[in-house]
Structure 1
């Protein structure tokens, strides 16, 4: 894989092999030098040597496609090459038949929807829509990009390239207006949880889906209030202020399949299982969840804005605000339930991204 000068180009042709390299290295659990030579795979089931080579017939198939043409099934093929356990059983969003997914029916949030079936039924009866828009659902090949919020996006002028993707997923409250040159102007979906949702209604872009990634039972109650335009009477249980109104019609709201939280945590990264319950250090970041969703539902996957240089504490953390990198160290209360990268882990991700050819803006 040829690496172009990162200061001039966004390397967007992201293959799932390097995306999963990013996910897995982010856990700090992949140490090839600590394993014997008897197995080709680590304890999670990933190839110890992440070369991601495809079988010859697939190399021929994809190698003969014209440059820029979407490669059908490419993400799944690359994933299977490095992670034979990979399967594609999970749609992006919950639909009225969500009980058929046994992998989420037996777990409480965030890894499933046990004890939340009634409120989910109530929500889905109101939304009546369970996929992307018809035009996107009908595509035979989808190119998706997951947009991180890192300041690494600043002054790269990659907005036009980003807008070329079929599906553009943004996270939490990261704004678009005023930053189009660097982050693009289109948004297919905005994935968030109550505490991360945009609170100023005028900042919501037009024609995008509002997607809840529920990390606790209370998040479903919050979404129901937003859908039915009910007054949010009690905010106890949220760790910060939450949006009181979401300017979207019910048909524009979705529930992200909790299977992706489960798979990102337990299968891809290898976080503590804790009997399937939320516990210390076993919740993946929203970015890893979104990437996992894309790997299961898109033919090609790219990421941008996931580069954080922890060695420069005075550098901006996000592209849209002045909070500095050092602020991460002040979020110690998060560590009781959320995965925060240590400086050593962040450095490992960064060095690995260069050696493997990870497609990140620098």
Structure 2
């Protein structure tokens, strides 16, 4: 072969050689990037069961994990968690209402794909805080095994920031959306958190198509609710009880002159996730400083801190508890 022919052959082969070199280098780069913990996929999938158990033990809640989240027809008499409390911390006085509700709600478990033998169950709780706006966390949020949302927080139109996957949506009548199908997956579980007896009465009237009672609510709940019966669950009040008494350490029976304080749905959802999941991450938690009364508090709507003025929640206490949980490594806040 002449020198000229050899040179021509080499020039033709050079682009192919360079292509394979670049491809090989890029694979090494991306593999090393993924193993560094910077990739969202890696962040979601990392799970050490032993570490998770140690973190749970570090909470010193004097209780073991309880993976069964919902009330069942066979134990609505509170057989597993004997309690002298009425709602929201027990079912004393509400047994008959629960019997009627649970007789229609035919399933009491998590979806099969979640309940199956996962070696590690990853969960993310999506709060409704303004802090999640423009976060671009939606794609990461959708990667978790369990996505828990709160109240009537919308998804459609906010997918880039909050994702569109929903496994559980915790709500109470005043925070129920008229048409749950609009912002939820078809198999999303609609989990009623009964704060008072009227909440169970509302659900019973919906299920049995009875005349609606409008009294006893701080805000009119939907009179027509399009939730699918097969997707309805009732959260065991045991979890709200432990959230208040063991996690927040607030009195369950305050003195008459004291204003009652109850956990928010958000901190309750965090405690539920800690019981059920091996990895618990949060997004969209936190309120503006109290002195800024005009600051929006949600990533949607126009509500401000002023609307929280007369609430039955201690937001500062909950913020301190969440900070402590993060410092202990029990939870992790996702950021943009």
Structure 2-normalised TM-score? Answer: 0.77
Q: Deviations over 1:2-54 (max 9, x none)?
A: xxxxxx998996xxxxxxxxxxxxxxxxxxxxxxxxxxxxxxxxxxxxxxxxx
Separation in 1, partners of 2:51, 2:67:
17
Which of 97, 103, 117 is 1:119 aligned to? 97
SS of the counterpart of 1:146? Answer: strand
Q: Name the structure 2 match of 1:321.
A: 301
Structure 2: unaligned runs, 5 residues or longer? 1-37
Q: Name the structure 2 match of 1:302.
A: 281
1:85 aligns with 2:62: yes
Separation in 1, partners of 2:247, 2:217:
28
Distance 1:348 1:91, change over 3 A: closer
Separation in 1, partners of 2:319, 2:68:
33
Separation in 1, partners of 2:326, 2:47:
25
Q: Deviations over 1:74-112 (max 9, x none)?
A: 544311034162312462111123235453542210001
Instruction: After TM superposition, give the deviation of residue 285 of structure 1 in Å.
Output: 0.9
Which of 241, 263, 270 is 1:262 aligned to? 241
Structure 1-normalised TM-score? Answer: 0.72
Number of equivalenced pairs: 292
Which of 84, 92, 114 is 1:136 aligned to? 114
Distance 1:347 1:251, change over 3 A: closer
SS of the counterpart of 1:245? Answer: coil
Distance 1:264 1:201, change over 3 A: closer
Which of 48, 52, 64 is 1:71 aligned to? 48
1:229 aligns with 2:209: yes
SS of the counterpart of 2:160? Answer: helix
Is the CA contact 2:61–2:247 (under 8 Å) kept in the aligned structure 1?
A: no
SS of the counterpart of 2:96? Answer: helix
SS of the counterpart of 1:267? Answer: helix
SS of the counterpart of 2:49? Answer: coil
Identify the range of structure 1 (350-359 vs 239-248) with the bigger mean alpha-carbon deviation.
350-359
Q: Name the structure 1 match of 2:200.
A: 220
Separation in 2, partners of 1:95, 1:77:
30
Separation in 2, partners of 1:112, 1:350:
25
Larger Rg: 2
Q: Name the structure 2 match of 1:248.
A: 227
Separation in 2, partners of 1:218, 1:12:
44
Instruction: After TM superposition, give the deviation of residue 231 of structure 1 in Å.
Output: 3.9
